[in-house]
């Protein structure tokens, strides 16, 4: 049986974990019994100095986003420094892992485990195929890029242009999009079916996905939505029990109904059953929403790493960029004007988007390479 070693992370946001889950699901669905996948958290291979950085991610992006932007810029400008130090930190455990598992191909879905791992493969003369699958749609750091990789899977045409312009041979770059987890796909068989089932005159259904926003901001958005629109509101708080409890307290004396959810096991059903998604524009949240055909209204993006994503959405008619909290409501006004004309247009663009439903294509591309080698 052929073996793929996937290098990911556990605590640096939703995206890397969702991508590796999607890829494992894809290989199990199409190549069960032929290709085996093993997922490793790259940070767990490192010493405590490096591994402790992983769990700082969530506090940083919530409370110190500008500091995170600075760190993102540092990694972008000091690629060799980061790769050298991470290589040194993970080398012993990674070599042991390679000898024990003996993979046919390594797939990295985290930027810190590209050049660093390629350094180790080169030093120890391992002849193992190495793929990078980039999980940032548009704001791509240079630390993702290493000319020694056999293939770099790009999430967008714009991303591909950036990769090639920054020294990677175009023969090594393939453009697909972002793979998403099982069930995060359109429930419509064709564009006519989509149009038929678009809510153009019923009560507006709004999903608010909280990706580490402060509870006071979420509460403000809920109140303004109810003031301006006749709507049902669903709020997903994620895994943070603290945020869930804080929002729940604020809603105790609130006189309108809000469906407050902690961690949603079947988030895809909420994507399918709502008309508008309000969220911070993390790449994977955006990709999953596009695949499920729900127009996106940005409530911001992480500085540096994600700041280009809401602009990309607007330029490709996949969602709406905003410049402030109150601008969220301006964009909703635009979506529902003239019989929700813009809302329908965005859903149509999402349905026709080249980066939708690409997991199977990526899985088969990698499997074909393994079989040929």
Residues 6+ apart with CB under 8 A from 206: 225, 229, 231, 232, 233, 234, 274, 275, 276, 278, 332
Of residues 264, 215, 312, the one with CA closest to residue 14: 264
- H helical segments located in the chain: 14-31, 48-54, 57-63, 65-77, 79-101, 115-123, 157-165, 191-196, 215-228, 241-250, 267-273, 283-292, 309-315, 327-352, 359-372
SS3 37: strand
Q: How far apart are CA 345 and CA 350, in angstroms?
A: 9
pLDDT of residue 163: 97
**Long-range CB contacts (< 8 A, 24+ apart) of 249-254?**
250/215, 250/216, 250/219, 251/219, 251/222, 254/222, 254/223
pLDDT of the chain, 373 residues: tens digit per residue = 999 999 998 766 677 889 999 999 999 999 999 999 999 999 999 887 776 676 666 666 666 777 767 777 777 888 999 999 999 999 999 999 999 999 999 999 999 999 999 999 999 999 999 999 999 998 899 999 999 999 999 999 999 999 999 999 999 999 999 999 999 999 999 999 999 999 999 999 999 998 777 888 999 999 999 999 999 999 998 777 888 899 999 999 899 999 999 888 899 999 999 999 999 988 899 999 999 999 999 998 777 778 899 999 999 999 999 999 999 999 999 999 999 999 999 999 999 999 999 999 999 999 999 988 6
DSSP per residue, 256-290: S--EEESS-TTHHHHHHH-SEEEE---HHHHHHHH
CB 347 within 8 A of CB 315: no
pLDDT of residue 306: 82
pLDDT of residue 373: 66
Q: How far apart are CA 237 and CA 245, in angstroms?
A: 9
Distance from chain centroid for Cα 337 = 30
pLDDT of residue 57: 65
């Amino acid at each position: 049986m052929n073996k793929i070693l996937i290098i990911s992370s556990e605590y640096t946001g939703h995206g890397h974990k969702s991508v590796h889950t999607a890829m494992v699901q894809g290989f199990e669905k199409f190549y069960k019994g032929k290709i085996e996948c093993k997922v490793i958290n790259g940070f767990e291979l490192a010493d405590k100095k490096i591994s402790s950085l992983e769990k700082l991610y969530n506090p940083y992006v919530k409370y110190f986003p500008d500091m995170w932007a600075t760190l993102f810029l540092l990694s972008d400008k000091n690629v060799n420094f980061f790769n050298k130090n991470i290589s040194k930190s993970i080398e012993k455990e990674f070599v042991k892992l390679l000898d024990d598992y003996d993979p046919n191909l390594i797939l990295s879905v985290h930027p810190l485990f590209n050049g660093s791992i390629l350094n180790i493969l080169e030093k120890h003369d391992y002849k193992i195929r190495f793929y990078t699958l980039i999980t940032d749609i548009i704001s791509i750091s240079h630390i993702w890029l290493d000319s020694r990789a056999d293939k770099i899977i790009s999430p967008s045409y714009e991303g591909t242009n950036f990769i090639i312009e920054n020294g990677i041979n175009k023969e090594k770059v393939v453009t697909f999009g972002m793979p998403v987890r099982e069930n995060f796909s359109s429930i419509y068989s064709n564009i006519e079916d989509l149009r038929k089932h678009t809510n153009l005159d019923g009560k507006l259904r709004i999903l608010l996905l909280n990706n580490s926003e402060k509870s006071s901001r979420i509460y403000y958005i809920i109140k303004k939505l109810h003031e301006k629109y006749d709507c049902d509101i669903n709020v997903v708080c994620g895994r943070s029990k603290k945020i869930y409890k804080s929002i729940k307290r604020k809603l105790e004396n609130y006189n309108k109904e809000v469906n407050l959810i902690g961690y949603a096991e079947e988030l895809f059903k909420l994507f399918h059953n709502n008309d508008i998604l309000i969220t911070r524009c993390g790449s994977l949240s955006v990709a999953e929403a596009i695949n499920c055909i729900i127009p996106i209204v940005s409530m911001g993006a992480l500085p540096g790493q994600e700041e280009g994503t809401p602009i990309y959405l607007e330029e490709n008619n996949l969602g709406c960029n905003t410049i402030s909290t109150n601008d969220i409501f301006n964009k909703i006004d635009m979506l529902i004007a003239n019989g929700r004309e813009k809302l329908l247009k965005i859903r149509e663009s999402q349905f026709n988007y080249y980066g939708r439903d690409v997991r199977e294509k990526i899985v088969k591309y990698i499997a074909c390479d393994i079989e040929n080698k």
